[in-house]
Amino acid sequence: MPNIFWFRQNLRLRDHPALTAAAETGDTYYVYIFDPDYLDQVGPNRLKFLLDALQDLEETLQQKKVTLNYFSGRSLPVLTRLKRQYQIEQIFVEADPDTFYRTLDAQIEGLQSFPPNLLFPPEDVISVNNKVPLTFTAWVSASKRLTMLPGVKTPTFSKNLKKIGTSIPTALIKKAEEATIDVIGGETEGQKRLTTVLKQTDYIHQFSKPKTNPASLVPSTTFLSPYIKFGCLSVRDLARRLAKIGSSKAVPIQSTLLGQLRWRDFFATVNVGTPNFIREKGNPICKQIKWNRNPKFLEAWTNGLTGFPWIDALMRQLRLTGWLHHLGRHSVACFLTRGDLWQSWEEGAAVFNYLLLDADESSNVGNWLWLSASAFFTAYYRVYSPVAFAKKYDKTGEFIRHYVPELAQMPLKFLFQPELAPLEIQEKAGCIIGEDYPKPIVNHREAVKINLVKMRQAYKKEK
């Protein structure tokens, strides 16, 4: 009786225990399912990256005379039909901390589940810690009592079974054609980027995440996160290679490159161990805050039309490139929630999930909980200024001028608050505020004062 290996967010051959185990069983169908329940939440940029990764995987498998079979439809009915039609004995998967896949896996009989693409399985961390670690320090302490799985060799495929799948749906191909990115997805490209990064030993050794620049037009970090998100790279393999190079003792563990992988594990562990982690209602670690619901605010923020050049530049960068520096993410998240607009973090997380190339459920939700001061972070009175923060990092205004071309000719003196420019300056710059570029959607100083009072009241109520 044949088996199925189900590719999901693990589109690679290298260091892949689940794939290696499936290949060793002999007769195995290799399957990817285009599930609308998942893909409807994916924007054109990430979809294009996904299809690139699948094409790369398909070509790599073809070189080994193995077929990648595509299916469309909801995963559970598709798998149920395949099990019956082809008398499937077992379904091999790499476990995934995403709620979508954990819910599915609980319903599938004959599932052979292998550790996820994390440093340590969340259940193991929770077990040795005796509870879900709700701080990064607690996660690090627990992880020190575990041993990371050793690497495995790229599998040797015994023989190819007949093709049983179909092709990529035309509708998905058309949607991906709307993408505005020039990034190539897939294991092959991911390995190239990884090789380039690992050659920069001084960069890795001295890397300190807070010292990177959110206003750089070229990412000032590694840009490996999309490849990690889709499992084009093995996190454990990356961690082993980073550990060999090491980090400066002057850099705190949480700020190193290896530390970034640990943060990813931390949020995945909290996700797995916390009921309803991805929403506010029923989430035991999330403060229940009465956010407002203003569709116009959300739309302006999403489309980069708030009248705050720094925020608008960041949101337009996100839409165009599918990427934001972590401090850029902090800026726009704080602005949408407790800083200025008082909109729910769930709304912002959904926009990020649609637009980001590296939209990882656990890290995305975890950071929105953090930045909205709904969980993890309690210093709610520390608000990112959309003006002062911009002046600190975008000193020449290059970043704002690039992503908000309406303001390209605005003098630097007024670039961060163009509504303060005299009319003759606006006319000379070819940008009339309120006509060519929106006026600020709120008064920042007043909004912050009002929202601080609301946060204080919410925290008192929680106590």
pLDDT in tens, 165-189: 999 999 999 999 999 999 999 999 9
Mean pLDDT, the chain, rounded, equals 97
Q: Indicate the residue among 209, 243, 273 that finishes a domain.
A: 273
Structural domain includes residue 156: no
Distances (CA, A) of 3 to 152, 230, 283, 318: 20, 23, 37, 40
**Token pair listed for 291:** 């956010």
Same domain, 268 and 178: yes
Maximum alpha-carbon separation in the chain = 79
pTM: 0.96
> Region 368-372: what's the mean pLDDT?
98
Is the pLDDT at 159 greater than 90, yes or no? no
Are 257 and 305 part of one and the same domain? no
- Say yes or no: 266 and 316 in one domain: no
Other CB atoms within a 10 A radius of the CB of residue 157 amount to 18
Phi, psi of 70 (to 5 degrees): -100, 140
Whether 432 and 357 share a structural domain:
yes
* Assigned token pair, 110: 């004959």
Residue pair 447/341 in contact (Cβ under 8 Å)? The answer is yes
In a domain, 331, yes or no: yes
- pLDDT of residue 26 exceeding 90, the answer is no
Kindly state the tokens that stand for 54.
Answer: 């699948």
Q: What pLDDT, on a 0 to 100 scale, did the predictor assign at position 334?
A: 98
Asked if the structure places residue 279 within a domain, the reply is no
pLDDT at 372: 98
Q: Does residue 37 surpass a pLDDT of 90?
A: yes
Residues 218 and 305 reside in one and the same domain: no
For residue 276, the model assigns a pLDDT of 98
Q: Does 445 fall in a domain?
A: yes
Q: Which residues pair with 94 in a beta bridge?
A: 114
Render pLDDT for 280-298 as a digit per residue (tens, 0 to 9): 999 999 999 999 999 999 9
User: How many domains in the chain?
Assistant: 2
Which of 243, 273, 303 lies at the terminal end of a domain, its last residue?
273
Last residue of a domain, one of 238, 273, 308: 273
Q: How many residues does the chain have?
A: 463
* Averaged pLDDT, 346-371: 98
343 and 197 within one domain: no
Domain CATH number, residue 238: 1.25.40.80
Specify whether 299 is located in the same domain as 208: no
Q: Is residue 12 part of a domain?
A: no
Amino acid at 27: D
Provide mean pLDDT across the span 32-55: 97
Rounded percentage of the chain residues whose pLDDT exceeds 70: 100
In a domain, 204, yes or no: yes
| Percentage of the chain lying above the pLDDT 90 cut | 95
What is the predicted pLDDT for the residue at 462?
80
Q: What does the pLDDT read at residue 225?
A: 97
Q: Are residues 252 and 313 in the same domain?
A: no
Q: How confident is the model at residue 463 (pLDDT cuts 50, 70, 90)?
A: confident
Pair 257, 367 in one domain: no
What is the reported pLDDT for 419? 98
Q: Are residues 268 and 299 both part of a single domain? A: no
- Tell me which residue of 315, 424, 447 sits closest to 414, measured CA to CA: 424
In a domain, 412, yes or no: yes
Q: How confident is the model at residue 208 (pLDDT cuts 50, 70, 90)?
A: very high
pLDDT, residue 158, reads 81
Q: Which residues contact 243 (CB under 8 A, 6 or more apart)?
A: 258
Q: Does residue 227 sit within a domain? A: yes
Which tops the pLDDT comparison, 223 or 461?
223
Question: Is the domain of 188 the same as that of 256?
Answer: yes
Residues 363 and 433 in one domain: yes
Domain range for residue 319?
Answer: 295-462
Mean pLDDT confidence for 114-132: 98
